[in-house]
Amino acid sequence: MKTIGVLTSGGDAPGMNACIATIAERADGRDVRVRGIFRGFVGLLEGNYLPIAGEVSGLARRGGSFLGTSRNGDVEKALKQHGHQGLFEACGIDALIVLGGGGSLGAAASLAEAGARIIGIPCTIDNDVPCANYCIGFDSAVNRALRAVDEILDTAESLSDRVFLVETMGGQTGHIALATAYSAGADAVFINEQPIDIDGAALRIKTKMDAGATHGLAIVCEDMGTAEIAEKLQDGVGRKVRLTVLGHIQRGGNPTFMDRQIARQYGETAVEMVLSGESGKMLTYACGDIRSMPLVDTIGKSKPIDLDKYKAVNG
């Protein structure tokens, strides 16, 4: 083993840089080179890379990925044309560590099945990689959302008789929205995995506010028709609804302690797995331990939400 490649694919996530830095540090300690591949799988196809030294000062505290990301590219087509050896030769690597979400790790699984030496690390703020208990970036994203909600509630306590609706990111999955709603003590949460019950949410909020509460709070995942939900809530509660869309602030900023710690553990373990000859595996975090499982086990599956927390929020 001489050279390990590392790429980040899909959306960026706080903690990716910390993981990249750890991979470089651990590999350097084992006399192994690391090459960072720009723009995800597109960079792999193009042979677009740079060497990463073992001492990467200040990188771990930065959000996102300095390597940049892209969607998965036409990995299947490239495999047919060049084989995995051709793809690896373009970047001069012997093995590859892929940081990304479900689609990216699915592409990594295809490379592994073709014979490439691959280790996958789940990284997405959506926390929706099948079979992965924790994805790098999730804690940072939820903490950003919680901080915003706390500041909104400071206003809500003085600007009374209003309902505040906060939209989080999450794509088609509600893990961020649910974690934020549960932790903030919201009155309702709307996510793709469950039927939308605006009437029930409006009744709960109206009953609470009629009894003297100064405000109501609901959290909604993006891409669910937020404007329509806000309008129907306003009609049902009989109070003004004020909408805040958090957007990409959840992706940026310095990673939290939890994301930095798990990023380091993932990075250290990934290098050791590559050097011991393991391949086709994805790392996951459970009860403080880092474990691994076959990448192929994640394909075609979805990650369920925590129904107990959903019921706790929505009553």
- Measured distance CA(10)–CA(5) in Å, rounded: 17
Residue type, 149: V
Identify the band that residue 163 occupies on the pLDDT scale cut at 50, 70 and 90: very high
Q: What is the pLDDT of residues 91-116, one digit of tens each?
A: 899 999 999 998 889 889 988 988 89
Tokens 């553990």 sit on residue: 265
What secondary structure letter does DSSP report for 74?
A: S
Q: Is the dihedral angle over the CA atoms 206, 165, 153, 178 positive or is it negative?
A: positive
Q: What is the mean pLDDT of residues 170-183?
A: 96
Residue type, 301: K
Identify the band that residue 77 occupies on the pLDDT scale cut at 50, 70 and 90: low
Q: What is the mean pLDDT of residues 223-238?
A: 95
Supply the Cα-derived Rg of the chain in whole angstroms.
22
Given a cut of 80, whether residue 75 has pLDDT beyond it is no
Q: What is the pLDDT of residues 80-93, one digit of tens each?
A: 566 667 778 888 99
Angle separating helix axes 138-158 and 175-184, nearest 10 degrees: 40
Cα dihedral 44, 50, 54, 59, rounded to 10, equals -90
- Measured distance CA(282)–CA(266) in Å, rounded: 10
Residue 228 buriedness (CB in 10 A; 0-12 / 13-18 / 19+): exposed
pLDDT of residue 148: 95
Q: What is the pLDDT of residues 274-293, one digit of tens each?
A: 999 999 999 998 878 899 99
Asked if 154 and 303 touch (Cβ cutoff 8 Å), the reply is no
Contacts of 38 (CB under 8 A, 6+ apart): 48, 49, 50, 67, 68
Residue 292's beta-bridge partner residues? 283
Q: Which one has a higher pLDDT value, 137 or 111?
A: 137
Distance of CA 29 to the CA centre of its chain: 29
Enumerate the active-site residues.
126
Identify the band that residue 220 occupies on the pLDDT scale cut at 50, 70 and 90: very high
Q: What are the structural domains of the chain?
A: 3-137+255-298 (3.40.50.450), 139-252 (3.40.50.460)
**Closest listed residue to residue 93, CA positions, set 2, 24, 196, 19:** 2
Q: What is the pLDDT of residues 4-21, one digit of tens each?
A: 999 998 878 999 999 999
Contacts of 307 (CB under 8 A, 6+ apart): none
What percentage of the chain has pLDDT greater than the value 70?
A: 94
| Burial profile 136-163: b = 16 or more Cβ within 10 angstroms, e = fewer | bbbbbbbbbbeebbeebbeebeeeeebb
